[in-house]
Structure 1
Amino acid sequence: MASAGAGEILPRTRPKELEDPLNLFVYHPLAARLAVLLVPTGVSPNAVSLLSLVALCCATWAFVALAWPVNAAVGLAFMLAWHVVDGADGDLARMTGRASATGELVDGFCDYVGNIIMYVAFAALLDDSLGGWAWALAVGAGLSHILQTNHSETQRRLYWWRAYGVPWLRSAAASGQKLIRGGSWINWLIGWGGVLYIWLSNLMSPSDNPIDAALARAAGERRETERMRAMIRRASRTSLLLQKALGANPKTFVIAAAIACGSPLYYFVAMIGPLNLLLVASIVYHKRVDARLAAALSRG
């Protein structure tokens, strides 16, 4: 892949139906412009992923260290910046020909580490008033976050893979690409994080399924593959809305709203209660859509 010129912004390859308005009109355009500015500097996409971790840590600092209500506003500003930087690493990788499954792993690892730091900080803040319950709630909300994020990301990438043929971490692992690489302990840790991510992804949405099997059988038959992909796009319109609702963008405003209301406790409760109910509804709905789609694909 050729590198982008200093003034060139490559169009994003993500289809519009996967984007919510903030991604489409705010985060991703700004991320692309940031990536263009970074191309001539020689900075690596992984370094940008680390910068996104810094932005998330700054948001955590603002939420817990600043006085109310400034903490909510400043923390939200850092989280909005995080979304932009978090998109710039992928854009920079595309522009410089360095996109890879390893980069996807590093990006996800930084996001998870940043969120763990935030949850620990929130629990420490609540510990004075709730004691051990603060940590129990943090663990419950953290596990909920992992399940919700994994489901949302899996469904997003599955759709992208099935409807457009864009490979992702799970397809890279299935093709034999190694996720756990030798070298430093951080490489080992990131690799095992990827293995656990794929395990959980397969648990909630198995890779051995009739939809992917039908697409595999049609491989090499362009017209048949495009017909199947068109069916997948039509069948997924509503399920994409559920996937977006469980993504990172809504959670950003739930966190800021909780802090604005005076306590991260409200965020923990929202994660464990309403958002987990939405997760269950999304899993059930996706399974029903997949079953109908598999039957339609088998009929031809």
Structure 2
Amino acid sequence: MTSPQPDKARLHGNARIAAMQNPLDRVLYHPLAARLARMLAKTPVTPNMVSVASGMMVVLAGIAYVQPGWPGTALAGLALHMSWHVLDGADGDLARLTGRSSPTGEIIDGIADYASHFILYTMLIVSVIPVAGWIAPVLGVAAGLSRIVQASFHEAQRRQYLCWAYDVPWLRTRNAASSRLGALGAAYLSVAGWLAPGDAAIDRALADPDQREALREKLIALGPAPFAGSSLLGANYRTIALGLSMLAGSPLWYFLYEATALNLVLAQGVWRSRRAYAALSTRR
């Protein structure tokens, strides 16, 4: 990560805004991530290295989950998967502390997350094929595809909210650092834009100095939930849900939950976000 960002990004980073945090973030992940980032800031370790390490923790979680020795291996897998959240927060904190925030780092972080979870899901599917047969790949692929769509909506809406309410830049508001990463960023945004298209009227209002502050006050008062949907769509509770499923003896319970219940939560979130956009436009 290069190209330092303004101090505003440090002050208004995701981990610094209470409305953007769920209880696990506030109590566990963000305090540990901040402490780790402060330690790493004194070393040659870069934010991109931390992003890659976070992906490795997901892969290690998958390896633990598919080993014999339940329930110890299930608990080990859950602990390793939870450590991903700490590292996933530490890379951004480290980038802000060292002035290395950039679009390239944001995309590398996303690639590490998606690639590592692809490996995790593949291992889980393969591990239950001998028991469940064709049901395992069908449910596993359905869950994986659902996760991509659900996470794209939730994270894109959260980032859009941060941009609107706190002026924190993200990929929609800046150019990627290289053509290859720019293409990957465009692919991510195309998926996110389908379900989280933003609102041109709100963008125009925020560009108008006469309307900007009043609209931001409304956005902050509303909070991110009307735009990003339930926190169940976020990664934190998915990790816990998978751990509980493995403690129950199989990842199939988690696949079923992600492919059915969370898609209903997604549909409600999309509907709610469109209503929130319309309400903001009407109030102005």
Scaled by the length of structure 2, the TM-score of the pair is 0.91
Name the CA distance, whole Å, in 1 between partners of 2:187 and 2:82: 28
2 CA distance for matches of 1:12 and 1:79? 27
Q: Which runs of 5+ in 2 are unaligned?
A: none
State the match for 1:13 in structure 2.
13
Q: Compared with structure 1, are the counterparts of its residues 107 and 178 closer, same or farther at alpha carbon in structure 2 (3 Å cutoff)? A: closer
Deviations 1:21-54, CA, capped at 9 Å, x for gaps:
1112211111111111111211111011011011
Indicate which of 31, 34, 37 corresponds to 2:33: 31
Match of 1:214 in 2: 205
Query: What letter matches 1:85 in structure 2?
Result: L
- Higher mean displacement: 124-133 or 87-96: 124-133
Match of 1:202 in 2: 193
Q: 1:179·1:192 contact (CA, 8 Å) conserved in 2?
A: no
- Structure 1: distance between partners of 2:31 and 2:168: 21
Partner of 2:85: 83
Residue 180 of structure 1 deviates from its aligned partner by 4.4
Report deviation, 1:209. Answer: 2.6
CA contact (8 A) 1:179 1:194 kept: no
1:108-150 deviation digits (Å, cap 9, x = unpaired): 1100011100110011012112333322222111110001100
Count of paired positions: 275
Contact 1:156 1:243 in 2 (8 A): no
Alignment of 1:87-98 (within 5 A): 87-98=89-100
How big is the shift at 1:294?
A: 1.1
For 2:276 and 2:64, locate their aligned partners in 1 and report how far apart those are by CA, in whole Å. 42
User: Structure 1 12/58 Cα, relative in aligned 2: closer, same or farther at 3 Å?
Assistant: farther
Provide the secondary structure at the position in 2 that maps to 1:65: coil
Distance 2:11 2:166 in 1: 16
| Secondary structure in structure 2 of the residue aligned to 1:41 | coil
Whether the 8 Å contact between 1:18 and 1:240 is mirrored in structure 2 is no
Map 1:140-289 onto structure 2 (within 5 A).
Answer: 140-172=142-174, 177-178=175-176, 180-181=178-179, 188=180, 190-207=181-198, 209-216=200-207, 218=208, 221=209, 224-236=211-223, 238-239=225-226, 242-289=229-276
Q: Please give the secondary structure, in 2, of the residue aligned with 1:43.
A: coil
Tell me if structure 2 keeps the 8 A contact 1:235–1:289.
no
Who is 1:290 aligned against? 277
Deviations 1:208-262 (A, max 9, x none): 532222212x1xx2x6311110112223464268342210001011000100110
* Alpha-carbon shift at residue 192 of structure 1 (Å): 3.5
Distance 2:39 2:28 in 1: 17
Identity percentage of aligned residues: 38
2:131 maps to a residue whose letter is S
Mapped to 1, the partners of 2:265 and 2:199 lie a distance apart of: 25
Change (3 A) 1:66 1:239: farther
Deviation beyond 6 Å, 4+ runs, structure 1:
none
Q: Which amino acid aligns with 2:192?
A: S
1:278 deviates by 0.3
- Shift in Å at residue 203 of structure 1? 1.1
Q: 1:66-114: CA deviations, max 9, x gaps?
A: 4211122111110121110111111111111100111010011100011
TM-score between both structures, scaled by the size of structure 1: 0.86
Q: Who is 1:7 aligned against?
A: none
Instruction: Name 1:104's counterpart in structure 2.
Output: 106
Measure, in 2, the Cα distance between the counterparts of 1:256 and 1:118: 13
